[in-house]
Structure 1
Amino acid sequence: MLYSLYEAGYYAATPMRLAALAAREFWSSPLNPAAETEMARRLYAGSDLFANLTRRYGKPDWKLDSVEINGKAVRVRAQTEWSTAWCKLTHFSRDMADLRRAGKTALEPAVLIVAPLSGHYATLLRGTVEAFLQDHEVFITEWTNARDVPMLEGRFDFHDYIDHIREALRHLGPRPHVVAVCQPGPPVLAAASLMAEDGEECRPASMTFMGSPIDARLSPTVTNKLAEDRPFAWFESNMIKNVPPPYLGFGRRVYPGFVQLASFMSMNLEKHQEAHRNYLSHLMDGDGDSADKHLEFYDEYLSVLDLTEEFYLQTIDVVFQRYLLPKGELMHDGRRVRPERITDIGLMTVEGENDDISGIGQTQAAHRLCLSLPIEMKEDYIQPHVGHYGVFNGRRFRDEIYPRVRGFIRRMEDGVHARKPARKSNVTRLRTAP
């Protein structure tokens, strides 16, 4: 019922939104002699704000037609390498002639960036992709909005997610590198563990976890505490809704993106309110640059997708309530997932000092689980002065985090065919779970 009410509210606001759009065009038209008056700017700003607050935010475009490498513009083309009803593997193919002009002559490592399936589209990682394109062949998982998948396609759960990661890695060829941003940490580690145990040729050469809840018992945040304090049945009863028509997934039970967005925004409500007040002020003052930055951020932030009921509830259960992976109790297709079987996959963890989604120690826990890895194949980094999103985007990511990840991948790439037995140890500074 809630999903239907949400849709009804959107359509009910359509006449007012169209009126606001008409008013915005009228008061900003160069043909309007009053367009430069204070009253006109106020009316334009108010109409624009209302239109943006009530419009539909679809999947954003990547807007990555080119990237600058060594001072040269290199054309980029996004193309689908493999897909299912639930995921599309996108390759950001760089123009070879442009690469040669930029001084890139050697074949560069393939990197699979596993985007989170937690409410936002993969385009939230645009800055992450742009950074990795400097030195790698970049692939990314683009997850499908569950409301757009017909019921005939069946279920998609936590274990299907693991299988999709394994299949994506196989499409990259022998020994690719994988980067998991936030939510994918546990299933990516599970996939790597299974591939390592099976001795698969396409198992990763390295895995990098960024702000991931590998062990959510450590340094619990508000998000963790919510999952712990509520019984499992509460999430099933209050967070799951039926997709209404006319969507292709009509009848599918999902965790709606707008519900998750409301939860995100409520955590920093005053900050979002202040941002919109500033936006209104910028429009009235004619500060187009600041207003454009606001729109650029919220066009991405307000674009959300639905998760299937089974994937969402299993994630709550497996990752945030029973902690099956760090406790050594996660089963997949009748097999126990054993990170200790990983012996030749490099491991890097990255955390943010001020992360309020995945607290410090949750990602580091991967080192404790990968007991058989030599210390030379492990690296841990905590970035000062950044929150959750700063771990994979923004200036500090580009200038401080990415160079470290790039260096780690290079070391693992160089040693993938000539690795010698080394002393085994765990990374220090790890917190111990209760």
Structure 2
Amino acid sequence: MLYALHELAYQSAAPFRLWAQMGRDFWTSPFNPAAQTAIGRTAYASAELFESLTRRYGKPDWRLETIRIDGHEVRTIEEVVWSSPWCRLVRFTRNAADLKSAGKPTSGPNVLIVAPLSGHYATLLRGTVETFLQDHDVYVTDWENARNVPMLEGRFDFFDYIDHVRMMLAEVGPRAHVVAVCQPGPPVLAAVARMAEDDEAARPASMTFMGSPIDARLSPTVTNKLAEEKPFAWFRSNMIHTVPLPYPGFGRRVYPGFVQLYSFMSMNEERHIDAHRQYFEHLVEDDGDSVHKHQEFYDEYLSVLDLSEEFYLQTIDIVFQSHLLPRGELSHRGRPIRLDAITDVGLMTVEGENDDISGVGQTQAAHGLCRNIPKDRRVLHVQPKVGHYGVFNGRRFRDEIYPLTRDFIARNEALCAPSRRAEAAA
């Protein structure tokens, strides 16, 4: 019912949104003599603010047709190299001639960036992908919006997620490097453990976890406490809703993205209110740079996707309530996950000092759980003065976290190069 009411509210606002668009065009018309007056700018800002607050934000584009490497423009090609009804594996190929002009090798270590499936699209990691493209050949998981997956495609749960990670690592190729950002930490670690136990050739050479709830019992945040305080039945009764028409996934039970969005925004309500108040003022002042910065952030932040019922509820249970992975009690397809089977995969953890989503200690718990990884193949890093988002994006990520990650990947790439050549020869 909530999903249907949400859609009704959006459709009901359509006439008012149309009037706002017409008003915005009227007050910015070069033929309107009052366009640049105080009244005109205020009217325009009001119409623009209303339209932005009631708009439907679709899936953003990657916008990575070109990137800059050491001051040189390098073209990229975005292609889907593997897909399922629930995910697309996107590869970004850098132009070899442009790399030569920039003085860079024409190829680099293969890196699979596993984007979170927690309400936002993978494009939230645009800055992360762009930074890794400086030195690597990058693949990224592009998860599908559950409301767009027809019921005939079946279910998608926590264990299907593990299977997807394994299949995508196999597609990327042997001894690649996997980077899990936030939510994917536990299923990615489980996938690597299973691949290591089975001695799969496609097991990664290294794994990096950024702001991930490997053990959510440590330094619990507001999000962790909510998941623990509420009984499991409460999440099933209050967080799960049915996809209405006209979406392809009509009838599917999901955790709606707009519910996740409202939850996140309520955690920083005053900050978002202030941001929109400043946005209105910048529109009136015709401060183009500030307006563009606001629009760029919220166009991404307000674009959300739905999660399947089974994946969401199992994540609540396995990761945030029962803590099965750190307790050594997680099984996958009838077999226990053995983290001690990981012996030749490098491990790096990155946390933010001010992270209010995954507290300090939750990610680095992986080091204690993966006890058979050699010490010289481990890196534990806590970044000062950054929150959750700053762990994988922004200036401090580019200038301080990424260089450490790049060097960590390079060391593990060198360690695996002989075995990779031997496997290729065989």
Please, what TM-score do these two structures have when normalized by structure 1? 0.96
- Indicate the residue corresponding to 1:397 in structure 2: 397
- Indicate the residue corresponding to 1:287 in structure 2: 287
3-state SS, counterpart of residue 155 of structure 1:
coil
Amino acid at match of 2:234: W
Deviations 1:190-235 (A, max 9, x none): 0000000000101000000000000000000000000000000000
- Indicate the residue corresponding to 1:331 in structure 2: 331
1:322 aligns with 2:322: yes
Identity %: 68
**Distance in 2 of aligned mates of 1:346 and 1:329:** 23
Amino acid at match of 1:330: L
- Indicate the residue corresponding to 2:365 in structure 1: 365
Alpha carbons 2:100, 2:106 under 8 Å: kept: no
- Indicate the residue corresponding to 1:163 in structure 2: 163
Alpha carbons 2:193, 2:338 under 8 Å: kept: yes
What is the deviation of 1:417? 4.2
**Distance in 1 of aligned mates of 2:306 and 2:226:** 20
Q: Which moved more, 1:351-360 or 1:26-35?
A: 26-35
**Distance in 1 of aligned mates of 2:180 and 2:88:** 16
What is the deviation of 1:106? 5.2
3-state SS, counterpart of residue 88 of structure 1:
strand
3-state SS, counterpart of residue 67 of structure 1:
strand
**Distance in 2 of aligned mates of 1:102 and 1:410:** 19
3-state SS, counterpart of residue 88 of structure 2:
strand
- Indicate the residue corresponding to 1:425 in structure 2: none
What is the deviation of 1:416? 1.4
Distance 1:73 1:106, change over 3 A: closer
- Indicate the residue corresponding to 2:64 in structure 1: 64
- Indicate the residue corresponding to 1:426 in structure 2: none
**Distance in 2 of aligned mates of 1:274 and 1:285:** 16
Amino acid at match of 2:222: V
Q: CA RMSD in A?
A: 0.8
**Distance in 1 of aligned mates of 2:410 and 2:84:** 31
3-state SS, counterpart of residue 59 of structure 2:
coil
**Distance in 1 of aligned mates of 2:304 and 2:17:** 20
- Indicate the residue corresponding to 1:192 in structure 2: 192
- Indicate the residue corresponding to 1:91 in structure 2: 91
Distance 1:314 1:62, change over 3 A: same
- Indicate the residue corresponding to 1:274 in structure 2: 274
Deviations 1:141-191 (A, max 9, x none): 000000000000000000000000000000011100000000000000000
**Distance in 2 of aligned mates of 1:70 and 1:302:** 32
Alpha carbons 2:151, 2:252 under 8 Å: kept: yes
- Indicate the residue corresponding to 2:115 in structure 1: 115
**Distance in 2 of aligned mates of 1:191 and 1:214:** 13
What is the deviation of 1:319? 0.1
What is the deviation of 1:418? 5.5
**Distance in 1 of aligned mates of 2:71 and 2:185:** 34
**Distance in 2 of aligned mates of 1:10 and 1:104:** 49
- How many equivalent pairs are there? 419
3-state SS, counterpart of residue 112 of structure 1:
strand
What is the deviation of 1:104? 2.3
For structure 2, list consecutive stretches of 5 or more residues without a partner in the other structure.
420-426
What is the deviation of 1:68? 1.2
**Distance in 1 of aligned mates of 2:259 and 2:72:** 43
1:299 aligns with 2:265: no
1:414 aligns with 2:414: yes
- Indicate the residue corresponding to 1:204 in structure 2: 204
What is the deviation of 1:19? 0.1
What is the deviation of 1:71? 2.0
- Indicate the residue corresponding to 1:423 in structure 2: none
**Distance in 1 of aligned mates of 2:320 and 2:105:** 45
Amino acid at match of 2:362: Q
**Distance in 2 of aligned mates of 1:237 and 1:406:** 44
**Distance in 2 of aligned mates of 1:191 and 1:238:** 30
**Distance in 2 of aligned mates of 1:105 and 1:159:** 38
- Indicate the residue corresponding to 1:45 in structure 2: 45
- Indicate the residue corresponding to 1:429 in structure 2: none
- Indicate the residue corresponding to 2:75 in structure 1: 75
Please, what TM-score do these two structures have when normalized by structure 2? 0.98
- Indicate the residue corresponding to 1:253 in structure 2: 253
